[in-house]
């Protein structure tokens, strides 16, 4: 455990679980239940929500005349942008080209991008028959990771072992972040699913921000958690009719602030305060709506 994590453990022992003993000891995160998080209602938040809802309403109007093939093109662009964000490709905008920015795509990259789109398409269409659930996310993950890169990463299955996030030379003891082990992970996933379906006290956009944070904090898969987490948001905004055609280019907006995106997630883990994350994420939804409108208007309809 590094110095900063040790400090967090001493200040917030209920947020971390001590695992193993002796030299093998490491501490894993325990996510706070979303129902225990209270976001203060301020004038600043009210204005942000008002502005974001206004631009989302404009996006709805812009999308009314979109043909199916244009909707699919926007959904494909969002899936590709989500893959780019995971790979650290900044603000590339070449839809399924051979080159993304300075990165030349190899065949495995192309397969992975296509699989990401297949997962998005499957998940959105499956909402007609399935609720947002572990079953739906696991199925989408299986499609998304159906390539040789993920042969040993259990496609479509939640992890049963501890993982860590950090530099390659780090480990469970020294990593920047260790997600919850399976017992805490499963409890947090159940709570998240209940929150999605049964908590109607929170504003939808605030709720979307908290849902995304919680999924990334849980990190239930060995790999592709970022893409599945952004897909989860697409599903939630689609189901709540915030984005009724599922065309919001959220990943593209997050790309523009990718460093802040990851830093704000980590800061929320460390401080157990959620306001900065909520403001950041809703701002990105607002920016994504603007980007999507601009993209629609630039299309040959």
pLDDT tens by residue, 30-72:
999 999 999 999 999 999 999 999 999 999 999 999 999 999 9
Parent domain of 82: 33-298
- 226 in any annotated domain: yes
The answer to whether residue 23 is domain-embedded is: no
Query: Is 25 part of a structural domain of the chain?
Result: no
The answer to whether 164 and 178 are in contact (CB under 8 A) is yes
| Average of per-residue pLDDT across 162-175 | 92
In a domain, 286, yes or no: yes
Identify the CA nearest to 9 among candidates 252, 205, 272: 272
User: Residue 13: pLDDT band by 50, 70, 90 thresholds?
Assistant: low
Residue-level pLDDT at 17: 94
What is the pLDDT, as a whole number, of residue 167? Answer: 87
Structural domain contains residue 22: no
Residue 273 lies in a domain: yes
The overall average pLDDT reported for the chain is 90
> What sign for the dihedral angle of Cα 130, 135, 141, 144?
negative
The arithmetic mean of pLDDT across residues 118-124, rounded, is 97
Q: What is the mean pLDDT of residues 144-169?
A: 94
How many domains is the chain partitioned into structurally? Answer: 1
Q: Determine the average pLDDT of the residues in 79-85.
A: 94
Burial of 261 (0-12, 13-18, 19+ CB in 10 A): buried
pLDDT at res. 166: 87
Closest CA relative to residue 246, chosen from 258, 256, 232, 257: 232
Residue 3 pLDDT greater than 60, yes or no: no
% residues pLDDT > 90 (the chain): 82
| Number of CB atoms found within 10 A of residue 230's CB | 24
Taking residues 159-185, what's their average pLDDT?
94
> Residue 103's pLDDT is what?
58
CATH assignment at residue 163: 1.10.3290.10
CA atoms within 13 A on the CB side of 230: 32
Output the pTM of the full model.
Answer: 0.91
For residue 18, tell me if it sits in a domain. no
Instruction: Tell me what pLDDT residue 4 has.
Output: 40
Q: What is the pLDDT of residues 245-286, one digit of tens each?
A: 999 999 999 999 999 999 999 999 999 899 999 999 999 999
Token pair 């989408």 is found at 140
Residue 99's pLDDT band, with cuts at 50, 70 and 90, is very low
In this structure, is residue 291 part of a structural domain?
yes
Give the pLDDT confidence score for residue 206 in this predicted structure. 98
Q: Which one, of 252, 277, 253, lies nearest residue 263 by Cα?
A: 277
């Amino acid at each position: 455990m590094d110095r900063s994590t040790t400090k967090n453990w001493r200040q917030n022992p209920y947020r971390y679980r001590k695992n193993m003993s002796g030299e093998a000891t490491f501490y894993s995160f325990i996510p706070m239940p979303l129902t225990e998080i209270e976001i203060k209602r301020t004038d600043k938040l009210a204005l942000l929500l008002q502005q974001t809802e206004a631009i989302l309403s404009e996006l709805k109007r812009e999308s009314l005349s979109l043909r199916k093939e244009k909707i699919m093109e926007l959904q494909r662009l969002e899936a590709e942008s989500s893959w780019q964000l995971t790979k650290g490709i900044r603000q590339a905008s070449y839809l399924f080209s051979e080159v993304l920015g300075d990165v030349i795509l190899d065949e495995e990259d192309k397969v992975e991008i296509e699989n990401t789109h297949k997962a998005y398409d499957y998940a959105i269409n499956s909402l007609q028959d399935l609720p947002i659930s572990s079953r739906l996310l696991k199925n989408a993950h299986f499609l998304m990771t159906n390539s040789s890169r993920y042969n040993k990463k259990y496609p479509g299955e939640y992890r049963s072992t501890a993982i860590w996030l950090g530099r390659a030379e780090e480990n469970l003891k020294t990593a920047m972040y260790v997600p919850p082990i399976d017992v805490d992970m499963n409890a947090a996933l159940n709570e998240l699913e209940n929150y999605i379906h049964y908590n109607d006290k929170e504003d939808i956009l605030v709720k979307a921000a908290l849902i995304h944070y919680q999924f990334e904090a849980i990190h239930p898969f060995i790999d592709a958690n970022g893409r599945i987490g952004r897909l989860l948001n697409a599903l939630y905004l689609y189901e709540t009719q915030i984005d009724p055609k599922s065309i919001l280019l959220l990943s593209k907006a997050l790309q523009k602030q990718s460093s802040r995106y990851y830093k704000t997630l980590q800061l929320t883990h460390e401080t157990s305060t959620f306001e900065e994350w909520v403001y950041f994420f809703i701002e990105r939804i607002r920016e994504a709506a603007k980007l999507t409108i601009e993209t629609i208007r630039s299309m040959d309809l």
